[in-house]
Amino acid sequence: MMPADEFLGWALAIAFAAVAISQIMAMFRLVIGPGSGDRILALDTMVVNAIGLIVLLGISQGTRLYFEASLIIAMLGFVSTVAYARFILRGDIIE
Amino acid sequence: MSWDIIGTYAVGVFLLIGALFTVVGAIGLVRFNDSMTRLHAPTKVGTMGIGALLLASMTGAFMAGQGSFHELLIMAFLFVTAPISANFMSKVNIHRKTCHTPPDAPADQTWSTLVKRDEDAPSSDVND
């Protein structure tokens, strides 16, 4: 095994661990968050970290299969964040 | 040193940068002690981290010989939508008064984020 491949393996492992830890931290804030804004922020962060996890899975398996999944999750995450905020601001989503 | 090795090291470095940024954003989300302060960490640093991870994915795909610029689409989408959703969340904080509220509006007017919809008269024309 070349040293470059070994370095890539370690970097992948570290990135997986870091993104998983930040996902757990966001979940912690989602549980304890004192206000609605914090909970929406934690959910938004979890969506972004889920995109990161899917991208890391694609890198580690060497496939291009997960690109569409991460794109769709990015779009749905934005729409759901706006919908939550809209619901709290206005009382309903579609006026 | 061939391009293959340089590319592999580049993917690893991008992965490490992305992991660092992501975990810094999550630490900020947990550790900061005010709603508006907490808004800063994940919406900026976390987005940069995901951008670095997508850059790593793009570099890896180019090295594997099936490269494309598809990840730029996700990156651009995330970079465009992160400030918008942050703006909405700060409006939620102002609306719920979990931060310093803005000063009083001029006479006979109210801030639109503080308007309670149930109290609106049916014919009111409050602008968003």
Q: Kindly provide the ipTM of the predicted complex, given to two decimals.
A: 0.88
CA distance A71 to chain B (A): 6
* Smallest CA–CA distance from A45 into chain B, residue: B42
Higher pLDDT, A30 or A1: A30
Higher pLDDT, A93 or B117: A93
End-to-end Cα distance, chain A: 60
CA distance B57 to chain A (A): 6
Residue A1's pLDDT band, with cuts at 50, 70 and 90, is low
What are the pLDDT tens digits along chain B (128 aa)? 788 888 899 999 999 999 999 999 999 999 988 888 888 888 999 899 999 999 999 998 888 888 788 889 999 999 999 999 999 998 888 888 777 777 777 777 777 777 765 544 444 444 54
Neighbour-count burial for A76-94, b at 16+ CB within 10 Å, e otherwise? ebbeebbebbbebbeeeee
In a domain, B113, yes or no: no
In a domain, A67, yes or no: yes
**Do the Cβ atoms of B54 and B75 come closer than 8 Å?**
yes
Domain count, chain A: 1
Question: B60: domain range?
Answer: 3-102
Question: A56: domain range?
Answer: 3-90
Q: What would the 3-class secondary structure string for chain A be?
A: CCHHHHHHHHHHHHHHHHHHHHHHHHHHHHHHCCCHHHHHHHHHHHHHHHHHHHHHHHHHHCCCCCHHHHHHHHHHHHHHHHHHHHHHHHCCCCC
Domain count, chain B: 1
Separation CA B116–CA A11 (nearest Å)? 50
Separation CA B96–CA B102 (nearest Å)? 12
Contact B8 A5 (CB under 8 A): yes
Mean pLDDT over A65-81 rounds to 92
* Smallest CA–CA distance from A58 into chain B, residue: B57
In a domain, B48, yes or no: yes
Separation CA A51–CA A49 (nearest Å)? 5
pTM above threshold 0.90: no
In a domain, B15, yes or no: yes
Burial class of residue B70 (count of CB atoms within 10 Å of its CB; 0-12, 13-18, 19+): middle
Per the listing, tokens 């992501």 go with B22
What confidence score (pLDDT) does residue B123 get?
47
Mean pLDDT over A28-52 rounds to 91
* Smallest CA–CA distance from B113 into chain A, residue: A89
What confidence score (pLDDT) does residue A95 get?
64
In a domain, B78, yes or no: yes
What confidence score (pLDDT) does residue B67 get?
78
In a domain, A49, yes or no: yes
Separation CA B35–CA A26 (nearest Å)? 14
In a domain, B121, yes or no: no
In a domain, B56, yes or no: yes
Mean pLDDT of chain A: 89
Q: Which of residues 31-60 of B touch A (CB under 8 A)?
A: 35, 38-39, 42-43, 46-47, 49-50, 53-54, 56-57, 60
Residue type, A81: T
Tokens at residue B7, please? 């590319």
In a domain, B115, yes or no: no
What confidence score (pLDDT) does residue A27 get?
94
**Do the Cβ atoms of B88 and B82 come closer than 8 Å?**
no
Separation CA B19–CA A52 (nearest Å)? 9
* Of A12-21, A78-87, B110-119, minimum mean pLDDT range: B110-119
